[in-house]
Structure 1
Amino acid sequence: MIIVHTPDADERRFYLQQFRLALPGKSFVCSDDDYSNDEIDTAIVWRPPPDFFAQFKKLKTIFALGAGVDALVARKDIADDVALYRLCDAGMGAQMVEYVRYGVLHWQRQMYRYQHLQLHQRWLPQPVRLAADVRVCVLGLGELGEQVAKALVADGYRVSGWSRTMTVIDGVHAASGLPALDELLTQADVVVSLLPLTTQTKYLLDSRRLSLLPEGAAIINASRGAIIDENALLNALNEERLEFALLDVFEHEPLAASHPFWNHPRVMITPHVAAVTIAEEAVKQIAENIEKRARGEPIDGVVDGKSGY
C-alpha cells in the first residue's frame, strides 16, 4: 500500500486522486485515511511531520514530491534500507531557466538602480552592459543547473560552472573541486547557486569566498538558503562590495518579518518560487518510477545518502 502526504489537506487529496487515476491497480491512501501501518510499504511525501516514517515498519521506498531532499536525508526516522528518490526536473527546469534569466538581466540592465532612481524622480541613464561582457558562474550542474547553463550560453553570456564532480557542457567553462571554485569566483560578475544542501555545501559561500567576487558582482540563490552565510552576504551588500542579490531561499523559511533583507535596497526577495513542483508532471514521473521499481528496472532520481542528493 502507498501512502501520500503533503502538509495541506486539499493538496494531498488532490495528489491521492491523481495517483489513483495514474495507477488504478495500486492501493493508495493519504494520511487522513484509516489504514494499517503494517500495510504501508511506499510513501510519496512532501514535508512530512516529525517521526512520520517511524510508524511504518515495512516501509521500503520513499518518493519525494520535489527535487530538494536535504530535509529527508537528515531525518532520523528513516531506516537505512529504505530507498529514497527525488524528482528529476518534472517541469521545474523551464521555470528555473526563466528565474535565473530574469535575475541576470535585472543585474545586467541595472534595473535595481532604475528602481531607486524612480523613487527619487531622477532621470539618469546607466552605462550599457552587453551580454557578451557578462560573466555568469553557475554553482551546481545537475539537471536544473545544466539547463540554466545551456540557456545562458545561448543568450550570449560567458558562462562557467562548478560542481562536485566534473561535468562537461558545450560552451561552459566547467570545473570541480574547492580550489577551482575560488578561482571561478574571482572571475564572476553574477553567481547563481543551484547546489543541493549537504554537509559539504552548507555555508559554502562564506565571508571569505564572497570577498573573492569582483566589486559590484551579484548573487542569485535559488537552491537552499544555507548555501550562503546570510550575515556575510548582508555585510557584503551593506559595504557595497556586492551590488545586488536575488534571493528565493533562506536558511529559515518563511523569512522573519524583522529580517534586514526585506527592506534592503540591494535585495530582491521571492518566497521559494523559482521552480515549483508541477503536480501533473510529478505524478507522471513517480507513477512511472513505481512501475519500473515493480519490474526491477533502474529508476532515475535515486538519492545517495552519503552525498546527500
Structure 2
Amino acid sequence: MTLVLFAANRDKWREYEASLKNALTQEGVVAQILHLDDAPPPGSVDWIVYAPNSTLKDFTPYTALKGVLNLWAGVEGIEGNRTLTAPLTRMVDGDLTQGMVEWVTGHVLRHHLGMDAQIANPECRWDPVPPPLARDRPVAILGLGALGGACGRALSALGFPVTGWSRSEKAIPGIRSVTGEDGLAAALAAAEIVVVLVPHTRSTEGLIDAARLAQMRRGAVLLNPARGAVIDDDALLDALDRGHLAHATLDTFRTEPLPEGHRFWTHPRITVTPHIASVTRPASAACVIAANIARGERGEPLLHLVDRSEALG
C-alpha cells in the first residue's frame, strides 16, 4: 500500500482529506493518507503533499520518498531546501489558472476602462470621454508559465496587444514573446499595463526595481499577483508619489498579511487585494495530486516538475 503524508496544517487537512482519498481511489491508487501529526515512520512514506508553510523542514529521514507534491503554484518556500533530494512538483491546476485569469482580466479591464473614475465620482461630474479600444492599449506580461500564458491568451482574445517576457522564447498564439534584458526593457517601455507573473527566484528577487520602473511609460499601471518579493516596495512608492506610474494593484506582499500601517493600505494610487488572485481549491487540486501520484506509481514521469538548479546553485 502506498503511504501518502499530508504535510500542511490541520485546517488544510480538514479541507483536503476527503477530496484526496476520493481522487486517489478514482486513480486506482491503493493508499493510506496520514497527516504529519500522526507521525508515521518517515522511512515508510512514499509521497508527501506539502504546503510551503508546513512545519516539516528536514526531509532527510524520508529515505523512501518518491516525490513531494506542492499544494501551491509558488515553491519558493521549499525549492532551496537541500535536505530534499526527491523530485518536487508545483501545483498546476485548471481552477487555479482560471482564478488567475479572472483576476488579471478583471483588473486590466478596470484600469483600461477607467472604472474607478465612475465608481468614485463624488462631484457627480459628467465626463463623456470614452476609453480607447483594447487594440490601442498594449499590455506586457512578465512570466509566460502556465498562469502568464493563460492570462496572455485571455487578454489577446479581448483584443489587447500582448507582449510576454520570459527566460526562454515561447510560441503562444496572440502573444509576442521576448527574452533577455533588451526584451524586458522593450516590453516595459511599450506597455500601458504591466502584469507581473514571474515566480520568486534568486534572479527575480527585486526584479521590478527603480531602474525598471523608470523604463515603464509615464502613466502606466502595474499589476502584481505573482510574489511580493519581485517588486522593490520603496521604488514603487517613489514612482507612484512622483506620478510616473498612475496606479498599482497588488495582490501579494513581502509580509502577509500586509501589516497594519503599511503605506500600501492608504496610498491613493495603490489597490490592495488580500492574496486572492489565484487560490488552490481542494476538489480540483486533489485530482492533480492524485493523478501525479498514480503516474509515479506506474513509473511514468511526474508532471509539473520544478527545476531546482537555480535555487540550489
TM-score by length of 1: 0.92
- Name structure 1 gaps, 5 residues minimum: none
1:57 is displaced (CA, Å) by 4.1
User: Hey, what's the Cα distance between the residues in 1 that align with 2:207 and 2:98?
Assistant: 26
The corresponding residue for 2:12 is 11
Give the alignment of 1:227-246 within 5 angstroms: 227-246=230-249
User: Hey, what's the Cα distance between the residues in 2 that align with 1:10 and 1:269?
Assistant: 25
Cα contact 1:89–1:144 (8 A) shared by 2: no
Give the alignment of 1:137-286 within 5 angstroms: 137-286=140-289
State the AA in 2 paired with 1:65.
Answer: L
Change (3 A) 1:205 1:158: same
1:110 aligns with 2:110: no
User: Hey, what's the Cα distance between the residues in 2 that align with 1:199 and 1:99?
Assistant: 26
User: Hey, what's the Cα distance between the residues in 2 that align with 1:299 and 1:218?
Assistant: 38
User: Hey, what's the Cα distance between the residues in 2 that align with 1:167 and 1:188?
Assistant: 19
Give the alignment of 1:24-63 within 5 angstroms: 24=25, 25-46=30-51, 47-49=53-55, 51=57, 53-63=59-69
Deviates more, 1:90-99 or 1:212-221: 90-99
The corresponding residue for 1:73 is 79
Cα contact 1:13–1:30 (8 A) shared by 2: no
The corresponding residue for 1:100 is 104
1:308 is displaced (CA, Å) by 4.8
State the AA in 2 paired with 1:44.
Answer: V
* Greater RCO (Cα-Cα under 8 Å, separation 6 or more): 2
Deviates more, 1:32-41 or 1:282-291: 32-41
Cα contact 2:189–2:217 (8 A) shared by 1: yes
**Corresponding residue to 2:135 among 132, 135, 139:** 132
Number of equivalent positions: 305
Percent identity between matched residues is 35
Q: Secondary structure at the match of 2:11?
A: helix
User: Hey, what's the Cα distance between the residues in 1 that align with 2:39 and 2:108?
Assistant: 50
Deviates more, 1:273-282 or 1:34-43: 34-43
The corresponding residue for 1:82 is 86
Change (3 A) 1:71 1:44: same
User: Hey, what's the Cα distance between the residues in 1 that align with 2:220 and 2:300?
Assistant: 46
1:295 aligns with 2:298: yes
Q: Secondary structure at the match of 1:107?
A: helix
Q: Secondary structure at the match of 1:82?
A: coil
1:22 aligns with 2:26: no
TM-score by length of 2: 0.91
State the AA in 2 paired with 1:4.
Answer: F
User: Hey, what's the Cα distance between the residues in 1 that align with 2:173 and 2:15?
Assistant: 41
1:91 is displaced (CA, Å) by 1.1
**After superposition, what is the alpha-carbon deviation per residue over 1:221-263, rounded to whole angstroms, capped at 9, x for unaligned?**
0111111111111111111110111100011111111110101
